[in-house]
Structure 1
Amino acid sequence: MKTHPFAMLPQRYATLPPRFYRAVEPTALPEPRLVHLNDAFARELGLDPERLAEPDGVALLAGSAPPGKTPLSTAYSGHQFGVWAGQLGDGRALLLGEWRDGRGRDWEIQLKGAGLTPFSRMGDGRAVLRSSIREYLCSEAVAGLGIPTTRALAIAGSPEPVYRETVETAAVVTRVAESFLRFGHFEHCYHRGDEDGVRVLADFALRHHFPELQDSAQPYAALVGEVIARTARLMADWQAVGFCHGVMNTDNMSLLGLTIDYGPFGFLDGFDAAHICNHSDHAGRYAYGQQPQVALWNLNCLASAFLPLVPEEELVALLRGYQARFEGAYLARMRAKLGLADARPDDVELAEALLLAMHANRVDYTIFWRRLAGFDTADGATNDALRNLFVDRAAFDGWAARYRERLLSEERDPAARRAAMNAVNPKYVLRNHLAETAIRRARDGDFSEVDRLMRCLARPFDDAPEFDDYAAFPPEWAGDLSVSCSS
């Protein structure tokens, strides 16, 4: 008799007091089918892709609980669009348990879309194929870019109807992360007056996810400091690659500094520092250029939840360090994108001048940075492949002259510089129109585009001629796409 694909799944979160979660029997999808399985990631975890693709594996991925295990939905609260929303919780996500890979790393495995939970509020506990494909592709695209993120193991689909703006079909995404702990888990305890709960949850996080901090003189302060540092680095990663999250509520912020909860995300096409990727974000709170400061606002909310454990003046001092951490991390990434080996004081101005010109001309963000590796420093070189991206050619010429001088001031081999730039400036990102094409085909039962995108986005820095169509300018219809919180 074959063993179940997830026969050994301990539930670490269940060691917390019952007020932190609810046990939930999932509602499996009827007539499930495997939309896509992330074979490479499954093998990385030490799971057998062939077993997962068999009927009992697909049943699990579609919402059937492992034998002897009852999944958990966790309780959290949060600020949504800057307003305290009270209790939220896992309204359509169920924690199966943990899996230890061959390297000894523990991973939480979660089903998103497996039915109602006590925290579903007015929702139906389901996810739709459209949003599931977007999350599945983008979490793996972000992982391919080297940015901390939750991961995606599989999508299971079903003909079951789900009602959103229109009638759609149901799906379940199997999500994987070292932890799904959010800022909102701590806010939940603090705002309910459960100071002991904040301590219990902080001890849990230290024990399982930050063991190196347990011996600190002030481990709770060290925990907050580490979350601040990770969040600053994550924001630098997002800004450097042109990623917009779209809904940075505190309940969508990871304690581990992971990109989490892919909904109305978007990668920049034409560069617009004020770009709003979420159609529901009417005030532009989560615009691309606002993300680093929103993260700091969210960190203030998290720090407030730690007031029972850390003196206020220490929390304020930790928060004051965020801006320098972010700016240092972001500048380091911009120097790498520009191909600069040395750090000089005027690099900030050089990068800012470029971004201002790109913003004014709505220059395609990904294409510009990828082409920049081919910048020719020879006398008289016009660099037309870059220059022609700008409506205002003179703006580019003025910046290019400064950039040329800066490159020539270093003794770096041009070939080495080009290789280093191509290693940080991706050729491929998950533009919205690419995801939309995959979704439209999947609705007709053709999942080949999901598979092709997965193969491409796993190696976004490589020159792969077979995927050159993914590196092209977006079509005109891409400008009409709209994504919202239901995406």
Structure 2
Amino acid sequence: MNSMNIDLGLTFDNSYARNLEGFYATCPGAKASSPELVKLNTSLANSIGLSNHDSAQLAEVFSGSQAPIGASPLAQVYAGHQFGGFSPQLGDGRALLLGEVLDEGGKRVDVQLKGSGRTPFSRGGDGKAVLGAVLREYILSEAMYALNIPTTRALAVVTTGEQIMRTQLLPGAVLTRVASSHIRVGTFQFFASRGEQDKVKQLADYAIERHYPQLKSSQQVYLDFLCAVCDKQAELVARWLLVGFVHGVMNTDNMTISGETIDYGPCAFMDDYDPKAVFSSIDRDGRYSYNNQPVLAQWNLARLAETLLPLISDDEEEAVAKATEAVTKFWEVYQGYWLTGMREKLGISTEEEGDLALCEQLLESMSGQEVDFTLLFRQLANDLETSSLESKSAEEINLESTSCESDKLFNDADKFIQWKKLWIARLSLDDQAKEKLSLPERVAMMNAANPMYIPRNHQVERAIEAAEQRADYEPFENLLTVLETPFTLQSGSEGYTKSAPKSFGPYTTFCGT
């Protein structure tokens, strides 16, 4: 089959390849022995203008075997701090950017293959991916999208017909993902570490044009660019923590300039709340634990700031001072996003000085109690709704009854019960606002912020096991269907709200796509 015959109907406009020569290596994907399309995200495909849904042709393209008309396949180069240690050259070792697509509204997105074979940056690896890791990223990224968290998205899964050796032989597969771009903090680091400041400027100008065009007229455009990226990342990480997500490998090469979640390797959602939760098999010191994620995000942004210093000011001392101020503000901005989200999760519609302490006290009451993070917030809304049937205002709410279901999620609920008194008092204060919420409106606010369904680790593993061992994709499809509407009760889906059984044991994830 000749690549000239494969027209996906996509409108390619490959600005990265056109404008950033020297920032990548052109290369083809590997020829798959027997590619088969096993999943196409039809709604996403339609949104980017993919009109050719012929499964055989899509399998050829999305396995990397053939490039579609208009594509310009390339592997991007970048560096990165990995668990604190700097690697001066990384790059797409198993990924291939097919090109950029303009959808009907003119929005530009990258279409990238992951697992399509060796590139000049593979560093001895085979450049391949296995089916389980591909399905994991598909499930997790689409779940994040449904949770309204900025993320790369999954377009397709293709099996290659190969068996790939990891710890054992596993089915080979390729993921096609879509992103606003794949420019990373590590992309800037690659050129800055080589003293190629002209290329750092070239990359910054490109990133500003693509992601932050509103900054182009600024008198301090590169400083404002740094601040804009800090803001995006502050919001992103706050959203992660609000749903109990642990990325697991927040290296600088896994932080995008666009502010999207990328590279779902050893990631997971918490079942029980644990501020020190770690799922990655290689994160032995907890560097990227749940509670440490905002700290490491700020650290990564400091590394970005270092690459931009010569652009921020010719005076080194002035540049350092301005960049330091920008990065220092990250924590305040992050905390603002997190607190706003927590207010929504707790049904609080106004702002009071003690709100941060109230939210932190709730987490303290949960720590060490094996409390399901997702269920607790949803149960608080349910308890509030139950009480609202007999109450006209927050002052009349009584959540001290033994029938209060949220208490039953704790091993010892004493601290939590005391916290609830403070929460009800805060809701009463909220009722004094000029445009106060009714109790049903307050419950609706909470349910819109607190998902019922997340990709529970045991459910993800069940879907992967069925697909890898029996080529059975029904658990995968069923899980995806539930996760598409995470905030809405779905009849017959009660099993998807439950924590893993004790027999599931401690959960560990691995990087090995």
TM-score (norm 2): 0.92
2:246–2:269 contact (8 Å) kept in structure 1: yes
Q: Could you tell me which of 186, 189, 193 is aligned with 2:188? A: 186
Please tell me the residue identity of whatever aligns with 2:404.
D
Q: Deviations over 1:66-109 (max 9, x none)?
A: 24644000110000001111200000110111111122211110
Tell me, what secondary structure is at the counterpart of 1:104? coil
Cα pair 1:78 1:184 within 8 Å, conserved: yes
Equivalent-residue separation in structure 2 for 1:196 and 1:388 (angstroms)? 60
CA distance in 1, matches of 2:191, 2:354: 46
Q: Quote the residue 1:447 is aligned against.
A: 473
Measure, in 2, the Cα distance between the counterparts of 1:261 and 1:58.
22
Tell me if 1:296 matches 2:305: no
Aligned with 1:236 (options 238, 245, 248): 238
Q: Secondary structure at the match of 1:52?
A: coil
Say whether residues 1:413 and 2:438 are aligned partners: yes
CA distance in 1, matches of 2:344, 2:507: 32
* 1:3, distance to aligned residue in structure 2 (A): 6.4
Gaps of 5+ in 2: 313-318, 388-396, 432-436
SS in 2 for 1:454: helix
Deviations 1:150-194 (A, max 9, x none): 011010013301111211111100010111110000000000111
Map 1:303-314; keep pairs closer than 5 Å: 303-310=305-312, 311-314=319-322
Which residue, out of 46, 53, 57, partners 1:43?
A: 46
Choose the corresponding residue for 1:385, options 405, 426, 450.
Answer: 405
**Counterpart AA for 1:20:** F
- Greater Cα offset, 422-431 or 58-67: 58-67
How is 1:167-206 mapped onto 2 (pairs within 5 angstroms)? 167-206=169-208
Is the Cα contact below 8 Å between 1:432 and 1:478 reproduced in 2? no
Could you tell me which amino acid in structure 1 is paired with residue 487 of structure 2? F
**Any idea what SS the aligned residue of 2:106 has?**
coil
Give the 3 Å change call, closer, same or farther, for CA 76–434 of structure 1 in structure 2: same
Match of 1:58 in 2: 59
Other-structure match for 1:482: 508
Partner of 2:422: 402
For the residue of structure 2 that corresponds to 1:261, the secondary structure is coil
Matched ranges for 1:100-119 at <5 A: 100-119=102-121
Letter of the structure 2 residue corresponding to residue 470 of structure 1: Y
For the residue of structure 2 that corresponds to 1:95, the secondary structure is: strand
Amino acid of the structure 1 residue aligned with 2:134: S
- Is 1:369 matched with 2:385? no
The DSSP-based 3-state class of the residue aligned with 2:321 is helix
Name the CA distance, whole Å, in 1 between partners of 2:144 and 2:37.
23
**Paired position in structure 2 for 1:267:** 269
Deviations 1:240-264 (A, max 9, x none): 1110000000000010111001100
* SS in structure 2 of the partner of residue 110 of structure 1: strand
Deviation for aligned residue 1:17 = 4.0
The amino acid that maps onto 2:439 is P
Mapped contact 2:72–2:99 kept (Cα < 8 A): no
2:88 aligned residue: 86
The answer to whether structure 1 residue 422 and structure 2 residue 447 are counterparts is yes
* 1:328 aligned counterpart, secondary structure: helix
Work out the CA distance in 2 between the residues paired with 1:380 and 1:446: 47
Structure 1 residues 68 and 153: alpha-carbon distance in aligned structure 2, compared to 1, 3 A threshold = closer
- Tell me, in whole angstroms, the C-alpha distance in 1 between the residues paired with 2:409 and 2:225: 45
Residue type matched to 2:152 in 1? T
Larger CA deviation: 178-187 vs 343-352: 343-352
The aligned runs of 1:13-52 (5 Å cut-off) are 13-48=16-51, 51-52=52-53
Matched residue type, 1:373: A
Aligned length: 485
Question: Aligned equivalents of 1:73 and 1:315: distance in 2?
Answer: 30
Structure 2 letter corresponding to 1:399 = W
- Aligned amino acid, residue 45 of structure 1: I
Q: Structure 1 CA distance, aligned partners of 2:399 and 2:218?
A: 57
Q: Which residue, out of 305, 316, 341, partners 2:349?
A: 341
CA contact (8 A) 1:9 1:96 kept: no
The yes-or-no answer on 1:227 pairing with 2:229 is yes
Say yes or no: does 1:456 pair with 2:482: yes
Contact (CA 8 Å) 2:8, 2:69: kept in 1 or not? no
TM-score (norm 1): 0.96
Give SS of 1:307's match.
Answer: helix
Aligned equivalents of 1:395, 1:198: Cα separation in 2: 52
**AA paired with 1:461?**
F
Contact kept? 2:10, 2:49, Cα under 8 Å: no
C-alpha displacement at 1:379, in angstroms? 7.0
Amino acid at match of 1:398: Q
CA–CA distance in structure 2, aligned partners of residues 179 and 379 of structure 1:
48
Identity over aligned pairs, percent: 39
Q: Shift of the alpha carbon at 1:11?
A: 1.8
Q: What's the counterpart of residue 331 of structure 2?
A: 323
Determine the C-alpha separation between the residues in 2 that align with 1:28 and 1:339. Answer: 54
Q: Are the counterparts in 1 of residues 11 and 103 from structure 2 also a CA contact under 8 Å? A: no
SS in structure 2 at match of 1:73: strand
Aligned to 2:15: 12
| Structure 2 contact 400–417 (Cα < 8 Å) conserved | no
- The aligned residue for residue 465 of structure 1 is 491
Q: 1:254 to 1:7 in 2, by over 3 A?
A: closer
Instruction: State the Cα distance separating 1:365 from its structure 2 match.
Output: 0.3
Task: State how far apart, in whole Å, the 2-side matches of 1:25 and 1:46 are.
Answer: 23
1:476 offset after TM fit, Å?
Answer: 2.1
What is the deviation of 1:6?
A: 4.7
Q: Pick from 257, 260, 264: which aligns with 1:258? A: 260
State the Cα deviation string for residues 104-127 of structure 1 (Å, max 9, x = none): 211110000111000000210101
Cα displacement (A) at 1:46: 2.6
Shift of 1:428: 0.4
Conservation of the 8 A alpha-carbon contact between 1:34 and 1:53: no
For residues 307-335 of structure 1, the C-alpha deviation after alignment (integer angstroms, 9 at most, x for no partner) is 12112221111112111101111111011
Pairwise CA distance, 1:58: 1.8
Between the aligned partners of 2:399 and 2:10, the Cα distance in structure 1 is: 66
After superposition, the C-alpha distances for 1:383-407 in whole angstroms (9 at most, x for unaligned) are 5310011111222221122222222
- In 1, Cα distance between equivalents of 2:194 and 2:277: 36
Contact 2:9 2:49 in 1 (8 A): no
**Amino acid in structure 1 at the alignment position of 2:63:** A
**Counterpart Cα distance in 1 of 2:298 and 2:310:** 20
